[in-house]
Structure 1
Amino acid sequence: MPHTTFFNRHALHLKPDPARVIVRPFKPATEPRDLNPTDKTRANHIVDRVLALGTDAAAAQLMDVLDNFQGRHRDLLAIFEARADDMEDALTNHADFSRIQRQLVGAYFLHEYSFEAAALFNPSIVAHPDQGGVALGATRFILSLRAVGEGHVSSLTFRSGTIRADGGIEVDPAARLAAVPRITSRTQGPEGDDVDVIFRKEDDLSERVIFPITESQSNGIEDARFVEFDDNGRRIYYATYTAYRGTAIRSELIETTDFVSFRMTPLRGSAARNKGMALFPRRIDGRYAMIGRQDNENLYLMTSDDLHVWDGGQAILRPQHPWEFVQIGNCGSPIELDEGWLMFTHGVGPVRKYSIGAVLLDKADPSKVIARSSEPLVRPEPSEREGYVPNVVYTCGAMRHKDLIILPYAVSDTYSKLATINIAALLQTLQAP
């Protein structure tokens, strides 16, 4: 069946915007002479220079900073004071500070970071927890996206939008401002830190940026696969993601009910040492179920009584067709249909070309493959081949809307698009394995 009969690319492009910035701590490099514990550190030298300014000069300098950066961030003075609080080690060796001096010191130990300057890609999509005021037959949604900035550091950001009753899609404009959350608790564990964070509820969803917080995430929070999980009638949003620290990866879990407060927790077990895990939207036979890749080649089904511990697994999908001979992986959490579990997959073929296919798993026993794509559903079009990583289309999760699948996908690890797929027509294209 020609793809044009059931696959519709929408004229929506979510592209990275280097003008969207957050403020991050600036930590001056240690100079050789600073290694002597009896000497002042470079941070102390900067503080000395600020204190050497007269009262009027310090006030004028702070006003100049505010004039220069006001409008780019909310509550700059509060941000400066919070950073000064973090700098107590550098401040204790000095005389008392005026409030202006303290705010100015905080400003010297911050820098702007353009968190999506390089890429905005690998999206997933879920229904918004707030459907109030939505037109009849429409659904408000949340897109999660992987944003990449200087140094190829990945963070998690969001967009909202609406699927109209007729299947049309609208994505809300991104807010001009952006901010990182406040850490409300941090607990050390054997596999890393559990961290709770919260944003200001009044801020727009698109302003919220979850930047790496823990050591395991220090080089990136990558490829979050969000799913709306039915926990015996209680709705929880979970996402598995890859925590990258520059030399190692691990799978971690993020949890939220409102996309205002989030908990981030390392996953434990042998399977958590890999990436690309995706949680089923409900328990199966009383157990949590997950799809993941454990050998960089095949897809495995795993089950567990503990959401945070994943071991073992059963290989259920292996590369079978030329477009997936290099490896096969999941493209987000399975979607429950009457016919079974619909799961999108990615396959890697010649010249490391990434394409997207689909698989139908048995609803009662998802280790059984009912049907799968013999040809890709989505492959890089001529206009989609160029980018940071050429020849790649990729998604981290789709959602159902009536008789359609809403599929956001990334183009060449650079920007994101959206498509709709007719479910009945899609299922007709799948073939027995």
Structure 2
Amino acid sequence: MIQRRSDSLLLQPCDVHPSQVGLQVIGVFNPAVAMLGDEYCMLARVAERPSELRAGWTPLPRWRSGTTEVDWIRDEDLTHVDARVVAMKNSGDLRLTSASHLQIFRSMNSGGERWEAVAALLPEGPWEEYGIEDPRITRIDNTYWITYVAVSRSGAATALMSSTDLLTFHRHGIIFPSENKDVVLFPDMIAGDFVALHRPNPNSHFCPPQIWLARSPDMIHWGRHEFVLGGVHAWEGDRVGSGTPPILCDEGWLTLYHGSTRSTSVGTVGCYSAGALLLDRDQPGRVLGRSSEPIMQPTTAFELNGFVPNVVFPTAMLDRGDELQVFYGAADACVASACFSKQSVLDSLQRKTSAEYYNEIT
């Protein structure tokens, strides 16, 4: 790991009001962060579940027409996959134990440590029935583009919004269909194309988990997909996915990503850690370096304990010259930030050619 210059707990469930009566907030986490002039702006995922308890029954919330409805299912008819997910025994179909929306926060504090809630973004339509999750913000020219996960009975897809003020948003619909998430956008067009990193999540596991790259002429239609990275180390052997939108430094595009270990206990999730990835400036599908060991692992109490214990999940990174300010979700419960030396992150990378990295998974 790399030594953190600082870390701060920014938001926790008690700081957020439920979206409606009868719900309780169990997590505010996985934030997207951008600067709007001198002001920090954050879109954070807020997970809620019904506060009512019924012995022998499990409440499964879903959004419909701007409000949350609850399906009560007998415990004997469910298999608990982990704290986040259950499976219907009669069909194998999955449901979430909570439903998420996004809340907008602002901070004028110089370190982004005191936040004020200003508005909420609620799920809309059938593709967001089970909630909207895990936003990332990328500014391109004067437009802020927000990718986020839209969850429905058709699975987890990636949708797109845009804004010029981070208060009003225009939804553009699904851009990567199920099952695909952890989509981050590059802040500049490259060779005339918009570029994104994404995470296919196939049901058939022919190989370790992977991150891919795609290109688009208009931000809506994506193609020319290519492999970028595979989860070949133990700390990223179960899941791997993009974390922060890339920033451009002298050596190339620098981004953080997450990986998780395989759980050894039924009904639990493995440990989530963060690594770094350096991509070529002109050929962003070409890997110049990556982490062989995590640069960040759960160590603080709020990372080790929460709705899903042992999780750091980076989703935003601001370039502060020789320092990187990273915002992340902690234990699927809280928003936190940490600062790192940029040079220390770059120095930690294992340097290989893309062909060498690809050969690791074949």
Indicate if the aligned counterparts of 1:267 and 1:309 stay in contact, CA closer than 8 A.
no
Cα distance, 1:395 vs structure 2: 2.1
1:415 pairs with one of 328, 334, 337: 334
Q: How many residues align?
A: 292
Cα distance in 2 for partners of 1:395, 1:288 equals 22
Cα distance, 1:385 vs structure 2: 1.5
1:154 pairs with one of 97, 100, 103: 100
Label 1:373 to 1:419 Cα distance change in 2 as closer, same or farther (>3 A): same
Cα distance, 1:123 vs structure 2: 1.1
Cα distance in 2 for partners of 1:163, 1:19 equals 19
Task: Give ranges in structure 1 of 5+ residues lacking alignment.
Answer: 24-111, 132-139, 175-205
Cα distance in 2 for partners of 1:170, 1:278 equals 22
Identity of aligned residues (%): 27
Label 1:113 to 1:155 Cα distance change in 2 as closer, same or farther (>3 A): farther
Indicate if the aligned counterparts of 1:252 and 1:272 stay in contact, CA closer than 8 A.
no
Asked if 1:356 is matched to 2:255, the reply is no
1:123 pairs with one of 20, 31, 44: 31
Give the aligned partner of residue 113 of structure 2. 171
Cα distance in 1 for partners of 2:317, 2:29 equals 14
Structure with the larger RCO, 1 or 2 (CA within 8 Å, 6+ apart): 2
Cα distance, 1:272 vs structure 2: 6.5
Give the aligned partner of residue 207 of structure 1. 118
Deviations 1:307-356 (A, max 9, x none): 11123510011112221122321002111112100011111113221100
Cα distance, 1:249 vs structure 2: 2.3
The aligned amino acid for 2:101 is S
The aligned amino acid for 1:160 is R
Higher helix proportion (structure 1 or 2):
1
Deviations 1:256-294 (A, max 9, x none): 01022100121346x665111111111100101010012
The aligned amino acid for 1:407 is V
Indicate if the aligned counterparts of 1:160 and 1:171 stay in contact, CA closer than 8 A.
no
TM-score after normalising by structure 2: 0.75
In terms of Rg, which structure is larger? 1
2:156 pairs with one of 226, 246, 249: 249
Higher strand proportion (structure 1 or 2):
2
Indicate if the aligned counterparts of 1:272 and 1:310 stay in contact, CA closer than 8 A.
no
The aligned amino acid for 1:157 is Q
Query: For 2:10, what is the secondary structure of its paired residue?
Result: strand
Runs of 4+ in 1 over 3 A off after TM superposition: none
1:223 pairs with one of 129, 134, 150: 134
1:335 pairs with one of 229, 247, 252: 247
Cα distance, 1:229 vs structure 2: 1.5
2:212 pairs with one of 300, 303, 319: 300
Cα RMSD after superposing both structures: 2.0
Indicate if the aligned counterparts of 2:235 and 2:260 stay in contact, CA closer than 8 A.
yes
Task: Give ranges in structure 2 of 5+ residues lacking alignment.
Answer: 50-60, 62-97, 203-208, 264-269, 353-362
Label 1:209 to 1:336 Cα distance change in 2 as closer, same or farther (>3 A): same
Cα distance in 2 for partners of 1:411, 1:342 equals 22
Label 1:158 to 1:397 Cα distance change in 2 as closer, same or farther (>3 A): same
Give the aligned partner of residue 378 of structure 1. 296
Cα distance in 2 for partners of 1:16, 1:261 equals 25
